[in-house]
Structure 1
Amino acid sequence: MAHTAVRLAALSQQVLGRPLPIRVRAWDGSEAGPPDGPALVIRNRRALRRLLWKPGELGFARGWVSGDLDIDGDLYEALERLSGVALHREQNPLPASPRAALDALRPIREVLALTGPPVPPPPPVEEVRRRRGVMHSLRRDREAIRHHYDVGNDFYGLILGPSMVYSCAYWDRPDATLEEAQRAKLDLICRKLALGPGMRLLDVGCGWGSMALHAAEQYGAQVVGITISNEQADLARKRVSDAGLSGRIEIRIQDYRELADGPYDAISSIGMAEHVGRVQFRAYADTLYGLLRPGGRLLNHQIARRPAPDEAHYHVDEFIDRYVFPDGELTPVGTTVSLLEEAGFEVRDVHALREHYASTLRAWVANLEANRERAIQLGTPGRVRVWRLYMAASALAFEQNRIGVNQVLALRTPESGLSGMPPTRVV
C-alpha cells in the first residue's frame, strides 16, 4: 500500500510542531494533509534529498526549478501556505540541548530512509555557481546583469508585453491594461522630473529604451540611455531607429561609474539601484549628484525591504541571489534617502507604490502562463519555472508588506536655495 505521503506528513508535524498546511502528494501516488486547496507534488526521492541537504528556501527552489517538486493548484495560495511554514520554523528553531537535539534528529533519520543514496544532487543548470572578482566591481556587475537580462529579448517580450518595461507599473485606474499602466508610470516620472523640450535626460539602466522613447516622443527631451546588457542595448537601438528618434536618443553600453559627460538636466533611475549594492550606493549617489546641473532632479525608483533586526547580519535571499538577480541587494527606503542626502541631494518626495508592483507582477505571471510553451522554446523549462516562482513569490511579498517600492524625487539644490519646485505636490 502506498504510504510515503502519510509518513512525510507525520515527520513534518514532528519537526514543525504542527500539521502541514498543504496537501502532499508523493511519487508513489499517496496523499496526506488538508483535502482542500493546492497540493505539493513530490515527484521523486531526489526532491527529498534536495530538501534534506539544503533545508528551507534554497532546497525548495532547486526542487522546483529541476521539476522534482511541483504545485498542483493555485500557486499563490500554495506559496502563502508554505511561507507560513517557514515563518513558524523561524519562530520555533530546533532545540539546543543534546537530548532535545537527538530527538529532533530522529525524523531526519526517517527521511534518510526515504531519500535513497545520501548524496547531494547537483543544482539545476540555471543556478549561478561561481562568481569572479570583487562583489560590485565593474566586471562582476556586468556578469551578474547579463545572467538575468541576456536571456533573449523575445523571452522578455512574452512576459512584459509590448511596453517592454521591466519595473513597477502605475495603475492610475482599476481597469487599466498592463500596457496603459506602464505608460502611466513613464509619464508620472517625466512629470516629476518636469521634463521639457531640449532638456537633457540621463536614463540609468535604460533597459529596452522605453523611458527614453517616452521622454523624447512626449516631452521633447534629449536622452542618453545606458545599460550594461548587450541584448537590451541592441533592441533599444532598434526601437529608437524604428521610431525615427536617433537624433534625440543615444543608447550606450556603459556603467554609471564610467560616465563623465554631465551636466544633465534630469536623471531617471528606474529599477536599477537594486543592482548597485550597499557598499556602492553612496558612490552611486555621488556620481549622479555630480552629473546633475544645479536645480536638476533625480527620480530614483527602487525596491525596498523592511529593516532587519540586525542590519549587520542581514543576508540576501538565497533563491533570488542564485537564480534571479546575482549580487542584487535591497535596502530599507530610509537608508536610500539618507545616502542620497549624504551625497548632497535634497529629497523632496517619497512615493510608495507597493500595491502597484503586486498588480504588475500578477500581470507578468499571467503573461508567462499564457505563453508557457513558447517561453520554454525560447529558454528552458527550468528558466520558465524560475521566473514563475520568483514573480509569484514577489507579488505575495509586496502584498504582505515584506518588501515595497518607492519613487524618491531628489534635487541638486542651487546655492541660492531656490528649488524651482512647485509649491504643492503635483503628480
Structure 2
Amino acid sequence: MTDAAPRLKGILEQLLGAPLPVRIRTWDGSQAGPPDSPVLVVRNRRALRHLLFKPGELGLARAWVAGDLTIEGDLYTALDSLAGLIWERGEDARTLAQSLRDPDFRSAVRRLFAMAGPPLPPAPPREEVRRPRRGLHTKRSDKRAISHHYDVGNDFYEIVLGPSMVYSCAYWPAPPPEGTLEQAQHDKLELVARKLDLRPGQRLLDVGCGWGSMALHAAREHGVSVVGITLSQEQAAYARKRIAEEGLTDRIEIRVQDYRDVADGPFDAISSIGMAEHVGSERYLEYATVLHRLLKPGGRLLNHQIARRPQRDESSYQVDEFIDAYVFPDGELAPLGTTVSLLERAGFEVRDVESIREHYALTLRRWVDNLQADWTRAVSLTGPGRARVWQLYMAASALAFERNRIGVNQVVAVRTPESGVSEMPLRARVWGAPGPA
C-alpha cells in the first residue's frame, strides 16, 4: 500500500491540533498536504522514531542531521511554516502531560508508534554533543566547546564565510543590499574600528579573534598593534598564515589563550565580536571585570553580541536544545538589558548601544547561499551530517533574526577615568557611514 503520507498527515494534525502547513512525501512515494507548498520528505520510519522518542525541536533536528528528513522547495518557507508548530509552541513537560490525558491524543500517539516500526529509540547522530549542563565554562570545558564548533576545518569555513573569513554579522548598506558579502564585512570591521577610535600606535586586544580578520583590518587600516586571542588551534594557525602573508607579524600577535589568562594589559581598546555568547551567564560578570581591568583608563570596549528576548519569568529560560547539542555547546544568550547591567557592574560606562538585527539576517542568507552553492565540496570536507547541521542552523537563525526572536547589538563601553572625562565625542554617531574600501 502507498498511503503512508495521508495517514501520517492525519496523525500529525491530530497531535498538533492544526493543519499541516507543508506537503509530506513518505518512504512509500505517497504524498499529502497543500499542493503548492514545500515538501517535507520523510525518507524512512526512523524519522518518526526520532520525533517520538524526543518530541519537538531536538527530535526534528536529529532526523534532519541523520538525513531521515529533508525539504524540497524553499527551505526558508518550509522552516517558517513549521516554526509555529514546533519552535514557537512552547511545549514543556506539563503541556505534554496535559495532552496525554486526552484520549484522542493518546490514540494518535499509538497510531504513530505503529507507523514508526520497532519501538526502540534510534541512536542520535554522531554530530550530537550531549553532556550535563553543570560545571560549565571552566577553561577546559570552554576550550572543548570552542574546538567542537570552530575546528571543523578552515576549508569548510572558507566555503561558508567567503574570502573575508569573518564569522559575525556584516554591515550592509541601505536600501536593501546589492553589494558583496566581502564589502559588507569590511564595512563592519571599519564600523568597529571607528567606534573604538583606533589610532596609529595604539594597542588593541581582540578577544575571540577568529581567523584574524579584525586584527588584520586594525593593523593594516589604522596602524595599531594587536593581540588576538582564540581557543581554536585551527583558527590561530590560519590567522598567523594570513598575517605573515600580509607582512604584519611585527604588529599582530595571535595566541591560543583564554581571556582570563591575559596578563599583559593595559590595552587602549578591546574588541569582542561574536565571542561573548560563549561566556555563559555564570561567568559573564567575571568576563566583563577582566576586560575592564585590561583596559587603560579612557579605553573603549566594543562588545558585539547576539541577544535573546527577555522572558516574563527568566527562571524558566531553557537553552535551545538543537544549538546546544549540535552548534554551540555550552553557549548561552542573554537579554540586552542583562548584558548592559553586567558591564556596568564591572565598572564600565555604557555609552552607546546599536541594534543591527536585520544585518545578521542578510548575512546568514548569504552564508546559506555559499554553502548550498558548493554543497558537494562542503559534504566532502565535513561529512553530510555536519553540513546539514550548518544548513539548518543558519537558515533557522536567519528567520529568527527576521522575526525579531533574537537580535544582535554593538555596545560601546568606556573605562571612564575618575575625572569623569570619557573622551567620547559629543555626537558619537558620526561613525555611521562605512569607510572606503
TM-score bucket (shorter structure): over 0.9
Letter in 2 for 1:43: R
Does 1:296 pair with 2:296?
A: no
Q: Tell me the equivalent position of 1:96.
A: 98
Spell out, residue by residue over 1:238-261, the C-alpha distance to the aligned partner (whole angstroms, 9 max, x if none). 111111000000000000011111
Distance change in 2, residues 1:55/1:259 (3 Å): same
What's the offset of the Cα at 1:101?
Answer: 3.2
Q: Tell me the equivalent position of 2:123.
A: 122
2: CA distance, partners of 1:171 / 1:16 = 39
Structure 1 residue matching 2:301: 3-state secondary structure: strand
Within a 5 Å distance, the mapping from 1:335-374 to structure 2 comes to 335-374=338-377
Worse overlay, 124-133 or 256-265 = 124-133
Does 1:401 pair with 2:404?
A: yes
Q: TM-score, normalised by structure 1?
A: 0.97
1: CA distance, partners of 2:404 / 2:179 = 23
Does 1:79 pair with 2:79?
A: yes
1:345–1:413: 8 Å Cα contact kept in structure 2?
yes
Q: Tell me the equivalent position of 1:207.
A: 210
Does 1:280 pair with 2:280?
A: no
Letter in 1 for 2:78: A
Distance change in 2, residues 1:115/1:211 (3 Å): same
Distance change in 2, residues 1:11/1:132 (3 Å): closer
Give 5+ residue unaligned stretches, structure 1.
none
1: CA distance, partners of 2:122 / 2:14 = 25
Spell out, residue by residue over 1:161-191, the C-alpha distance to the aligned partner (whole angstroms, 9 max, x if none). 0000000000024222100000000000000
Identity across matched positions, percent: 66
The count of corresponding residues between Structure 1 and Structure 2 is 426
Distance change in 2, residues 1:299/1:64 (3 Å): same
2:45–2:116: 8 Å Cα contact kept in structure 1?
yes
Structure 2 residue matching 1:302: 3-state secondary structure: strand
1: CA distance, partners of 2:210 / 2:99 = 53
Spell out, residue by residue over 1:369-406, the C-alpha distance to the aligned partner (whole angstroms, 9 max, x if none). 00101101111000100000000000000000000000
1: CA distance, partners of 2:282 / 2:91 = 30
Letter in 2 for 1:418: V
Spell out, residue by residue over 1:23-76, the C-alpha distance to the aligned partner (whole angstroms, 9 max, x if none). 111111111111112011100010000000011100000000000000011000
Distance change in 2, residues 1:21/1:247 (3 Å): same
Does 1:322 pair with 2:346?
A: no
Q: Tell me the equivalent position of 1:415.
A: 418
Q: Tell me the equivalent position of 2:198.
A: 195
Q: TM-score, normalised by structure 2?
A: 0.95
Structure 2 residue matching 1:13: 3-state secondary structure: helix
1: CA distance, partners of 2:416 / 2:19 = 58
Does 1:263 pair with 2:266?
A: yes
1:133–1:140: 8 Å Cα contact kept in structure 2?
no
Distance change in 2, residues 1:84/1:229 (3 Å): same
What's the offset of the Cα at 1:95?
Answer: 6.9
Q: Tell me the equivalent position of 2:172.
A: 171
Q: Tell me the equivalent position of 2:236.
A: 233
Structure 1 residue matching 2:286: 3-state secondary structure: helix
Structure 2 residue matching 1:86: 3-state secondary structure: coil
Letter in 2 for 1:69: L
Structure 2 residue matching 1:71: 3-state secondary structure: strand
C-alpha RMSD over aligned residues: 1.5
Q: Tell me the equivalent position of 2:49.
A: 49
2: CA distance, partners of 1:148 / 1:179 = 22
